[in-house]
Amino acid sequence: MFVKYLHWIGIVACLTLIVSCFLPWSYYADLNQHFTGFYSYGNYYGKPGKFLVFFGGLILVFMLLPKIWAKRANLFICALTLAYAIKTVILFGSCYNNSCPQKLLGLYLMLGSTIVMLIASGFPNMKLDAKN
């Protein structure tokens, strides 16, 4: 019964990933600034939100396409996005120079949504035709 709704949960996770890139990910008290997926002080951490928004939109399109190649490609892209999300959580949440940032909701939403997207892509909502 849960698998029946997993496709829609995956779609919601894609939209959550896109929204989470615009939310604050971490707060650096020594700089007195919030970092998001598109902003870091001096652009030291880059803009991982661009990558995540692009692949979140691509995963959303592949989830909606009723083609077998899209479902297979979606599984690979979701795994790649999850690996990049883990790297980003380590980058934005790590301590440096005896200063540790405060991890905020956007960072946890980003990581959680990529995990849900990978699980949802493993169980695609697709009817296969029986061919003789």
Residue 78 lies in a domain: yes
- The confidence score (pLDDT) of residue 128 equals 66
pTM of the predicted model, to two decimals?
Answer: 0.90
Residue 73 lies in a domain: yes
Residue 80 lies in a domain: yes
Residue 61 lies in a domain: yes
Number of neighbours of residue 68 by Cβ within 10 angstroms: 11
Which contacts qualify for 35-44: CB closer than 8 Å, 24 or more apart?
35/92, 35/101, 36/106, 37/106, 37/110, 40/92
Structure tokens, 24:
């604050």
Range of the domain at 36: 2-122
pLDDT in tens, the chain (132 residues): 677 889 899 999 999 999 999 999 999 888 899 999 998 888 888 899 999 999 999 999 999 998 889 999 999 999 999 999 999 999 999 988 888 999 999 999 999 999 999 999 998 877 767 775
Residue 131 lies in a domain: no
Count: domains in the chain? 1
Residue 127 lies in a domain: no
- The confidence score (pLDDT) of residue 53 equals 96
Length of the chain: 132
Residue 79 lies in a domain: yes
